[in-house]
A and B are shown apart, each in its own frame.
Chain A
């Protein structure tokens, strides 16, 4: 693979990695595969689009590009708002659907099927509100910068890499160095014992939804910035997200990010070697291979 392919894979992998961190957190603590996580990514992208549009309409100067980037101050502000709005959306979905099922001690399969229902509803609501037409945060064209070694990347792509790296380090530190992180790890292992130790399990679940939704919003904004915004953008990412979460080892934040990068690079490699039509198969092959050979993933411990 040429170095540029590696770079393209790395950039695609950051979006997958960020989404996979959200998947791995919600899976390890809520204990079911949330198939609506892809829609949280889409909603995050659209929330940012709506807020950036409003800001741009109200304050024209906010749409003017910042330095070498393709976007103005409206987008970073809108991304922060999208994180908050997405967290609220996740809490509403939990309150309306998942918390009710938890209170009835519903089985995992019921939770998974409910998440399929939530995904369909959220996706169709997006399409109803924003239409299915692809949209963009900016129409400005960017010239890629030469980075040496035959590699080029746009300033937007480099910023995405940096933001993703900072977010993953931040989430890892949150989990390993703070009381909230300890409580999350405790609930992940044994919710009842965590309660006996004084941990408010319901509160931890709310934090996990908010954190997962915040990471999904970041992934959505990045995907929207680097590619385009569509109601199906989250659905298209779902298989790579789960493949990355499982390859990294469920519950491992660095594992999910590393695996996201591996999947991004593998997809780029597949495009170069066997053709773009096989790109989508890469995640599936990796997912099956991991489940057969090392089901605990790269960073997970064998049960």
Chain B
């Protein structure tokens, strides 16, 4: 690991079909305990970029490094063992399983003696779901599902947590609650990559922001600087910035 970098990509080219890359040569680095948001207009390749890191989209060129180890060819189900947890935008919990079984499933890759303690720990972080542990995850509200999805990802105590648009479909109040939890998670030392359409909310919690346009990095900098950059806002965020819903 160099300079505390826990996740990096170098010249990453990825897409569902070879010859039609969606991500086109992205260099990216994330340090421990840092929260970086990936922004950009629709179709910029934000989700494809993080899915490629997670092993869900084929990588055609370039490398992914996790903690200094080349993880480019590591299959999706092994990435979690390398410290990378990914929370998809939709269908991110097992609706037919109970809340407890969602968490047990994630804990099953841990040594047996550690499992109960890790589950208790995330119940402590998310008391809302702890109170309903026997219920089917499918019966939860959108916000509770998002909390469960994040809780499930945190069971293994990852070094890197990637969230793909966690605010999608949630009310402003719930978005505020989810993002407040992300700040707590970041403070616990977990590095976070946050793909978001809700620019204002994302910039409010992020340390740095990377703007992707047409699969390439067009701008990156501190979140605070980017939030105040009228040129960047006009070029890449456009009307979204005006529409952005602030957390309650």
Contact = CB atoms under 8 A, between A and B. Distances in A.
Interface string A183-194: 101101110111
A198 B94 contact: no
A301 B109 CA distance: 29
B77 A186 contact: no
Contacts of A179: 104-105, 108
Interface stretch (B80-88, B206-214, B238-246): B80-88
B156 interface: yes
Given A196-B76, A199-B77, A189 B97 contact: yes
A196 B86 contact: yes
A1 to B, nearest CB: 37
A198 B92 contact: no
Interface string B47-89: 0000000111000000000000000000111111100011010
A201 interface: yes
Contact of A193 (B75, B91, B104): B91
A192 B96 contact: no
A96 B39 CA distance: 45
Contact of B94 (A193, A201, A301): A193
A3 interface: no
Interface in B179-208: none
A104 to B, nearest CB: 14
A114 B185 CA distance: 49
A182 B101 contact: yes
B80 A198 contact: yes
Interface string B83-126: 00110100111111100010011101100000000000000000
A182 B105 contact: yes
A198 B76 CA distance: 8
Contacts of B24: none
Interface residues of A, number: 19
A301 B156 CA distance: 31
Interface in A175-220: 179, 182-183, 185-186, 188-190, 192-201
Interface string B151-185: 01000100000000000000000000000000000
Nearest to A181: B101
Given A183-B108, A193-B88, A198 B96 contact: no
A189 B102 CA distance: 12
A201 B78 CA distance: 11
Nearest to B137: A189
Contacts of A186: 94, 97, 105
A182 B152 CA distance: 14
Interface of B: 54-56, 75-81, 85-86, 88, 91-97, 101, 104-106, 108-109, 152, 156
Closest 10 pairs (CB-CB, A-B)? A198-B109, A179-B108, A198-B80, A195-B77, A195-B76, A182-B105, A189-B94, A200-B77, A197-B106, A189-B96
29 contacts: A179-B105, A179-B108, A182-B101, A182-B104, A182-B105, A183-B105, A185-B97, A186-B105, A189-B94, A189-B95, A189-B96, A189-B97, A193-B94, A194-B77, A195-B55, A195-B75, A196-B54, A196-B56, A196-B76, A196-B77, A196-B80, A196-B86, A196-B88, A198-B106, A198-B108, A198-B156, A199-B105, A200-B77, A201-B77
